[in-house]
Amino acid sequence: MAITRWNPNSNLPTLREMMDRFFEDAWLPRGRFFGLTDGARVLPLDVHEKGNELVVRAEVPGVRPEDVKISVRDGALTIKVTTSHQEEEDKQYWHYRELYRGEQSRTISLPAGVEPDKAKAGFENGVLTVTIPKPDEGKPREIEIKVKALEVGKE
């Protein structure tokens, strides 16, 4: 017959678990990132070049086009998204609340050689796409080498 002993400390969290919880709760409130003190979250972006265009994409599900502000100033593109919550939602008991409500924004430096005055923006299936054309003169140009034919016998 095996003897099982009860340990009163077996259900207590370890020091490591307590420290992890302390830092999670005290320093990283749910939904916040380092360096942000005003409550705004960083809007994640994809930026790539496609042909003669710079393409910026942001996933903004559930956001209406009128809640998005896009501006270009001093060589920087800023996208600001504002989502709001209804008063009724605050009166409910929440089991989980991970969807962010509030303001998200992102400012990126634009590379030299783009034409922000000709930028276009579109919304499709919760994805915001901003397209900024690059002028043709910024593309490398190939120069053809012309070779003169030498006539044999003439010097």
Tell me the C-alpha distance between 73 and 43, whole Å.
Answer: 18
What is the model's pLDDT at position 61? 85
Task: Look at residue 34 and tell me if it is in a domain.
Answer: no
What is the model's pLDDT at position 131? 95
Task: Look at residue 56 and tell me if it is in a domain.
Answer: yes
Task: Look at residue 17 and tell me if it is in a domain.
Answer: no
What is the model's pLDDT at position 132? 94
Strand, coil or helix: 143: coil
**Predicted confidence (pLDDT) per residue in 105-137, tens digit:** 899 999 888 898 899 999 998 899 999 998 876
Strand arrangement of the beta sheet that strand 46-50 belongs to: 46-50, 53-59, 127-133, 120-124
Tell me the C-alpha distance between 64 and 128, whole Å.
Answer: 10
For the chain (length 155 residues), average pLDDT per consecutive 10? Answer: 65 76 61 46 88 92 90 92 70 74 88 89 92 76 77 61
What is the model's pLDDT at position 40? 56
* Residue 56 and residue 132 in contact, taking contact as beta carbons nearer than 8 Å: yes
Task: Look at residue 16 and tell me if it is in a domain.
Answer: no
What is the model's pLDDT at position 108? 92
What is the model's pLDDT at position 70? 95
Task: Look at residue 155 and tell me if it is in a domain.
Answer: no
Q: Which domain holds residue 118?
A: 39-138
pTM, rounded to two decimals: 0.59
- For residue 117, what is the domain's CATH number? 2.60.40.790
Q: Do the strands 102-109 and 120-124 form a parallel or antiparallel pair, or are they unpaired? A: unpaired
Domain total in the chain = 1
